[in-house]
Amino acid sequence: MKIALFSSKSYDSEYFDRLGNQFRHEITHFETRLRTRTAYLAKGHAAVCVFVNDVVDRACINILKELQIKAIALRCAGFNNIDLEAASEAGIRVVRVPAYSPESVAEHALALILTLNRKTHKSYNRVREGNFSLERLTGFNIHGKTVGVIGAGKIGAAFARIMLGMGCRVLAYDMYPNQALTKAGAAYVEFERLLSESDIISLHCPLTPETTYMINRQSLSLMKKGVMLINTSRGALLNTLDVIKSLKKGQVGYLGIDVYEQEEKLFFRDRSEEILQDDEIARLMTFPNVLITAHQAFFTKEALEQIATTTLRNLEEVEQGTELSNEVSAVP
């Protein structure tokens, strides 16, 4: 199958080209994002492969239909950037990678927690400049703290197990409780109780109409003063302006994010010589208790290999006309 792979980076080429040969797919890499004005680049291909910040809306899908594209393959778990109803109407199949090394994202959430808490990033820079002072580097013991996990799917469950292993009390909130996680020591509670009792809150849920801005002025007011808030899921789970206000008041004591609502205009590019036009992320970057990484939680060798393998296998199923293991369909 001829595949047009959009938003391609060097690491995509490395893994997809190597594994593509095994599946006998022919891959064309495009650094540009897929959106309406770039969709015609897919001409002559049977499928497109997209990532989290590609914009596959109805207008884009209409062009893909015109080009006789058979499938849209997401090389990620989330699919909120795809108009599934339009794809269904166009007869274009949509497949995704539902799980890829959940531990990679869970471990990155832990890295954000430890870095914010023990300020190792600041210590590193100090020592390089010959400053060996310990002033203003005080942290706290993670052991014994209450950790709230919002969304206890594969990634959330992996994170919960890590925190249980560190001696934390773990509270979980999910519409579908995991009995194995309960046996491991986590307790499922109501959303409001999780907010009020947790010292650290980590988000691990998909972006849906119900979860959009779930962290807002009201939910922030229910949290402990000085709470640590971590988001490695989707940027729009947070109302950024409300979080900024809570940071200014000290209600949120620490913020670690690997995702941002407007990240498609920023992430995955070198903008070090540019003037940032996004005032909200610029304001977040001024806080000494905020740590931002650029959507790298998934970024491990194991995860990249699993993503490429599952994506190519998904497209092999499309090509062969067999049942699709990881199809995403519009809700009737």
Active site residues: 234, 263, 295
| φ and ψ at residue 197, rounded to 5 degrees | -105, -10
- Among candidate residues 55, 57, 115, the one with its CA nearest the CA of residue 86: 57
d(CA 211, CA 236): 8
Category of 268 on φ-ψ map: left (φ > 0), alpha (ψ -120 to 50) or beta = left
Measured distance between the N- and C-terminal CA atoms of the chain, rounded to whole angstroms: 30
Name the DSSP letter for residue 284.
H
3-state class (DSSP) for residue 82:
strand
| Pairing of the two strands 93-95 and 71-74 | parallel
3-state secondary structure 180-220: HHHHHCCEECCHHHHHHHCCEEEECCCCCCCCCCCECHHHH
- Please state the separation of Cα 202 from the chain's center in Å: 12
d(CA 115, CA 132): 18
CA dist 12 → 51, 103, 108, 305 (Å) = 11, 20, 20, 10
Strands 47-50 and 290-292: unpaired
